[in-house]
Chains A and B, each alone.
Chain A
Amino acid sequence: MGVIMLLSFLRGFCKKIDFIAMLAGYAASYMMPVLALIVASEVFSRYFLNKPTVWAFDLSLFLFGYIAILGGAYAHQKRAHIVVDILYVRVSPRTKRIFNLISYSLGIFFLVLIVYICQEKLVDAFKFGTRRQSEWAPYMHHFWIMTIVGSTLFIAQLVRDMIVDIFYLCTGTDLLKKGEL
């Protein structure tokens, strides 16, 4: 009984994380047209109306960061992140899982540091009301919140993969069915 419950809990957990990371990836993708439109409209208002805006510069940079960071977890889910897979493709499925456990641990270490240090930046940003140095001077705090969220999602996605890998190493079977990754 307990084993089955644990299994279904793990399966549910993995699927939930996949779903949330996917949502973040889609959210990032909806920002793409907005980003292009903002840059294009800045060109339009500068060249044709002779009225450059004060906000397009910072807003486009913020969106750029949002897209890049929020998409990180989903890109991993899709195995889109770049790996040097020269040795990796030549080893057995078991060895691959062991390799994953080592490299994902290093990845999580780095991402945890990002979350930890960006939380300090967030506290600092609230304390001093930190803004961008431009004329428009928008607040910075939301950017750190987004970085924390994006990195946390990335950690969750790696943890999920490690659970799947450990399960495989212990039982020799996949935790999730084909098509569920």
Chain B
Amino acid sequence: MGIEALTGVLLLCICIFFALGAPVALALGGIAMGIGYLTWGDAVFNIIPTTIESTYFSFILLAIPLYIYMGQFFTKSGIGDAMFDTSQLLIGKIRGSLAVSVIIVCSMIGAMVGIIGAGIMTSGSIALKPMLDRGYDKNLAMGVIMAGGGLGILIPPSIPMIMFAASTHNSIGRMFIGAMMPALVTVVLMILYVVISCRISPQKAPFTAADTINQKKPFVEKLSIARDGFLAMMLIVAVLGSIVSGIATPTESGAIGVVGAVVLSILFKRFKVKMFLEVGLQTALLVSVAMWIIFGASVFSNFHLLMGVQSMVSDFAVNLDLPPIMIIMMFQVIMLLLGFVIDEFIIVLMCAPLFTPIAVSFGYDPIWFGVLMILNILIAVQTPPYGFALFYLKGIAPVGIGMGDIYKSVIPFVMINFTVLVLCMIFPQIVLWLPTLILG
């Protein structure tokens, strides 16, 4: 079987087993091993142990348990509530204000983490419940989490950007700075969308007593809410500070957040053994869900790569006979399509060294192209059927929210990401202006 046919069969099997409601992790691993046995023989089973080692001994992925743990402490100890109560004190009169606060908090989390999984699962832990509690439209609430959490790879530090820069010999610093403006544009568009769509359909973000109750409280109580909120914000600032000041790596900073959250919850007098155990159990479940899916998906993509899917992509890319800008657009389409079957890291590993030299030979700036790639990956991981960001969001979502809801919830935000991608393609200055200004 040729690689094209094999890819078709794999996709078909994915669709069938996804439709049957199979656990995604086991389905991906099982399909790869089953089809692998038929096409390759039993040697294919040896993908399992090497994938176990590369998945579980990845220090980068260690950010996932640590940040989920921190997020769970935030939500179960009331630190997260304190933070959002304070923001409501300030902007509670604006419809959709909580979602706006969430986007801003997510941007800060995005600035801490470097991978999508940690971003979405932390943001989801902290901010999903407050929005749902206040009667926010669940699609709006989940879309905000997804889009906000995804900022993790767009706001530095970002592991995919480091991988891009390393495999194409470009400046990481330049790329980090280059992604700043697109990230800012994304955040602004997201806030605009939330405010405008809540104005148009007010039922999405109902005003509840909770929005204004704090504003009616006596000054002393306001002060105490503000103090709690300030402390909670300080924790986020401290975690960010631990990265910037060189105390911890982005991966390790999650552990600092955990220790800080425990200290704060003791300060807030909300620390209970029961809460502590519940947080641990909930975290262990989420970690297990995230890691089984990463493992199953890696078995799947490793099999696909060993069978030579990368040669198929490279043959196709090299033989494109189109005008330069069309080729750049085709590259974006290829990456979006790859997003149907493989994860963010593999897309960068495969496409960066393949596409970037071609783009550069047409006279395009590699940093610009790299930022386009990151934006593109952001979309790829949010598009069904196979999108890691969607899976992470499903993992964190409360019972009763189906994958269909999640698919629906991301549409407007994927449109925003897409708009930013197109804007950056048409106006490369959005990417290049800041690095040129700062680094010359």
Contact = CB atoms under 8 A, between A and B. Distances in A.
A113 B287 CA distance: 22
Nearest to A25: B284
Interface residues on A, range: 35 or more
B259 A61 contact: no
Indicate the member of A57, A106, A117 with the most B CB atoms within 10 Å. A106
B363 interface: no
Given A71-B285, A107-B22, A86 B49 contact: no
Nearest to A47: B247
A107 B24 contact: no
Contacts of A23: none
A16 B27 CA distance: 26
Interface in A26-65: 26, 28-33, 35-37, 39-40, 42-43, 47, 57, 60-61, 64-65
A81 B23 contact: yes
B233 to A, nearest CB: 21
Contact of B291 (A68, A89, A116): A68
A40 B52 contact: no
A68 B292 contact: yes
Given A43-B248, A67-B65, A74 B288 contact: yes
B283 A82 contact: no
Interface residues of B, number: 65
B20 A103 contact: yes
Given A29-B284, A43-B247, A103-B27, A84 B18 contact: yes
A32 B255 contact: no
A40 B256 contact: yes
Contacts of B287: 28, 32, 64, 67-68, 71
Interface string A145-179: 00100000000000000000000000000000000
Given A32-B280, A80-B395, A99 B20 contact: yes
Contacts of A29: 277, 280-281, 283-285
B21 interface: yes
B299 to A, nearest CB: 8
A102 to B, nearest CB: 6
Contacts, number: 203
B240 to A, nearest CB: 15
B338 interface: no
B49 A117 contact: yes
Given A68-B291, A106-B22, A147 B52 contact: yes
B62 A103 contact: no
B238 to A, nearest CB: 13
Contacts of A88: 19-21
Contacts of A102: 20, 22
Interface string B10-26: 00000001111111111
A94 interface: no
A65 B34 CA distance: 25
A110 interface: yes
Nearest to A33: B280
Contacts of A60: 62
Interface in B122-153: none
User: What is the predominant secondary structure among interface residues of chain A facing chain B?
Assistant: helix
B34 A40 contact: no
Contacts of B339: none
B207 interface: no
Contact of B59 (A57, A75, A96): A57
Contacts of B248: 43, 47
A141 interface: no
Given A29-B284, A61-B57, A84 B21 contact: yes
Q: Which 4 A-B pairs have the closest CB atoms?
A: A71-B288, A103-B22, A88-B21, A68-B291
Interface of B: 17-27, 29-31, 33-34, 45-46, 48-49, 52, 56-57, 59, 61-62, 65-66, 69, 242, 246-248, 252, 254-256, 258-259, 276-277, 280-281, 283-293, 295-296, 384-385, 391, 394-395, 402-404, 407
28 contacts: A25-B281, A28-B288, A29-B285, A30-B280, A31-B284, A33-B276, A33-B280, A36-B255, A40-B256, A43-B248, A61-B56, A68-B292, A72-B292, A75-B292, A76-B23, A80-B285, A81-B26, A82-B23, A82-B293, A82-B394, A83-B23, A83-B24, A84-B385, A88-B21, A89-B404, A106-B30, A107-B30, A110-B26
